[in-house]
Structure 1
Amino acid sequence: MVDQFTNTFLGFERDCKRGVFGRVKHYYGVFEAQNRGSLHLHMVIWIEGALSPKLIQERAMADESFKHQLFLWLESVIKHELPSDTSPLASESKARQKQCLLGRPPHPDHPDFPSIWPQFLREVLDASGHVHKHNDTCFKKTPFSMLSLEPNDRDRLCRFNYPSPLVPESSMNDNGKISLKRIDENVVGYNPTISSSFQCNTDVKFVGSGPFAMALAIYMSHYAAKSTLDSALIMSALAAAMKSLQSNNTTLHSPAVSEDEERCRKLLLKTLNQINGRRELSGQQVACALLGISNHVTDAQFAVFYWSKLLTWTSPTIFPPYQPKLKPDEIFVGQATRFLI
């Protein structure tokens, strides 16, 4: 499914190299497992020929025609309103909800496609949660004492910022922040082509300038650098700690081991048991690990960055190169300098 999205909908394998967002230069996506174990994708897309957020702001401020065209393009690929002249999906119709999410979308060659597609899109948006409704996840970081507020007051505590303020027309403020046209305060940003084709929940945002863009960049970087807690990593860390306790040729059961060291050993073992006992893996995560499927997708090649080498290069006196402590019989002529990575 991800390959279909990048190759067809982003246009990487199409002859014209155009997708639903235009020509895409690069993409980088990270898979994340929800609390229930299901996998979903966070992806950043770079548009071919796009200006930097700063240049977009400067040109939009100086050229009204450019700003108008920019707003038209953004409003065509990111929607914040439900299709007009459509009816909501009946919440009690479970069979229809499953059909919207698991059935085939209308074929474009169907003679009535222009009339049936908007209603199909509306039902997909309703069934896939594109119309935000508060749940426990919205307030999981809210202090318990504030959960008894009135509904209107609780709206301001939603960590997803819904309901969002209505925006009659797209605009840009002095800081370069773009507020896209929003007719419905609870509709999550979506692309009609992607949502109707994949029939799942999506959230499309434009990364521009201003505090919101900076917060969004940090949010995306968090997911790009997010690592899972691996049992092998835990065991290696504990093994190193245990080895330190066993220094000076003593054993764990030797009288030379102090009471404090024994307590530390037990604490580490209990910590490991607690971590592994509380950790749950879904079938999707296990399958990906067994099949060797990567936890990210990208078309670009990234250079490996070694932080310790940079520190040594910038200030070798403060951060000298790592020199392994070898025994006298292990030292040999011509030993190369090593870095601790």
Structure 2
Amino acid sequence: MKRGLLVSEGKQHIDPDDIDIQETQRLIEMYPVVVSRHFMVRVNALMQFLKTDTEIFGGKVKDHWWRIEFQNRGSPHLHMVVWIEDHPSVATPEGIARIDSVCSTAIPPETSELYELVKNCQIHRHTSTCTKNNSVCRFNFPRSECLETHVIDPSSNEFIYNGGRICVLKRKSEDGWVNNYSPALLKMWKANMDIQPCSTNESIAYYIAKYVSKSEPTNLDGEVSRVIQ
């Protein structure tokens, strides 16, 4: 994407690896159409692959739903639900084992090809948005050690503390800042993700309704108008 942004800027002679995060952010804000087209090419390619793959999520993707949102600074991200064919119930040992085989919260060994990806993409760092509605991180970082992956009782205090997430993945104490990820998917996508198993129709409906009804940032309309003009 950086190369496309530099071409749009008339600076195709510059090596994309030589521009820093501030310059990258400026280019993203200047060329939202380039960013959006690049993002959708990646998303469509990913979905084309996932529809035929049976390894990444431990089964065939039989259906999906998504919504794309834009951050205040113009970067798009995807909220998506996928339904996996013949996935065992997460209330069973087989279901928990399937989750553990495709989801992780661990920092891999430094010799692993995933190490740099996890360190660069999956480590939570507090920003102002973490505490915009509270004095503590609303994403619950750092997260507590968890010896075994388990499903939460929706009526429990743990469910509330976990931000409405129905499943808690096993986690070592030293991995408290790692966001949930799929090792296989991270190798392909090479960007931040938050993988969360859903075990009930209610949790899926809640997630979809939440993002269907969520409004875009209030300043987005003005930015869209400015770009169109």
Structure 1 letter corresponding to 2:222? R
Match of 2:138 among 146, 159, 162: 159
Alpha-carbon distance between aligned partners in 1 of 2:128 and 2:86, rounded to the nearest angstrom:
42
* 2:212 aligned counterpart, secondary structure: helix
Structure 2 letter corresponding to 1:126? K
Q: Tell me if structure 1 keeps the 8 A contact 2:70–2:216.
A: no
Alpha-carbon distance between aligned partners in 2 of 1:174 and 1:227, rounded to the nearest angstrom:
30
Q: Give the structure 2 partner of residue 125 of structure 1.
A: 118
Pair 279,172 (structure 1): closer, same or farther in 2 beyond 3 Å: same
> Please, what is the CA RMSD of the aligned residues?
3.2
1:40 maps to 2:88: no
Q: Tell me if structure 2 keeps the 8 A contact 1:175–1:209.
A: no
Q: Tell me if structure 1 keeps the 8 A contact 2:60–2:84.
A: yes
1:80 maps to 2:105: yes
Pair 276,7 (structure 1): closer, same or farther in 2 beyond 3 Å: closer
1:182 maps to 2:171: yes
Structure 2 letter corresponding to 1:123? E
Number of residue pairs aligned between Structure 1 and Structure 2:
174
Match of 2:212 among 224, 239, 252: 224
Unmatched runs of 5 consecutive residues or more in structure 1: 61-66, 87-115, 147-156, 230-274, 287-341
TM-fit CA distance, 1:48: 1.3
TM-fit CA distance, 1:202: 0.6
* 1:76 aligned counterpart, secondary structure: helix
Cα deviation 1:133-159 (Å, max 9, x = unaligned): 2121101223xxx5xxxxxxxxxx111
The two structures have a TM-score, normalised by structure 2, of: 0.65
Q: Give the structure 1 partner of residue 15 of structure 2.
A: none
Q: Give the structure 2 partner of residue 264 of structure 1.
A: none
TM-fit CA distance, 1:27: 0.6
- Asked which structure has the greater CA Rg, the reply is 1
Match of 2:192 among 189, 196, 201: 201
Alpha-carbon distance between aligned partners in 2 of 1:282 and 1:159, rounded to the nearest angstrom:
32
* 2:80 aligned counterpart, secondary structure: strand
* 2:62 aligned counterpart, secondary structure: strand
* 1:182 aligned counterpart, secondary structure: coil
Alpha-carbon distance between aligned partners in 2 of 1:282 and 1:73, rounded to the nearest angstrom:
46
Alpha-carbon distance between aligned partners in 1 of 2:144 and 2:171, rounded to the nearest angstrom:
8
Unmatched runs of 5 consecutive residues or more in structure 2: 1-41, 156-165
Pair 2,277 (structure 1): closer, same or farther in 2 beyond 3 Å: closer
The two structures have a TM-score, normalised by structure 1, of: 0.45
Alpha-carbon distance between aligned partners in 2 of 1:186 and 1:195, rounded to the nearest angstrom:
17
Alpha-carbon distance between aligned partners in 2 of 1:166 and 1:224, rounded to the nearest angstrom:
33
Q: Give the structure 1 partner of residue 222 of structure 2.
A: 279
* 1:32 aligned counterpart, secondary structure: strand
Alpha-carbon distance between aligned partners in 2 of 1:81 and 1:175, rounded to the nearest angstrom:
26
Alpha-carbon distance between aligned partners in 1 of 2:219 and 2:215, rounded to the nearest angstrom:
16
Q: Give the structure 2 partner of residue 141 of structure 1.
A: 133
Q: Tell me if structure 2 keeps the 8 A contact 1:36–1:282.
A: no
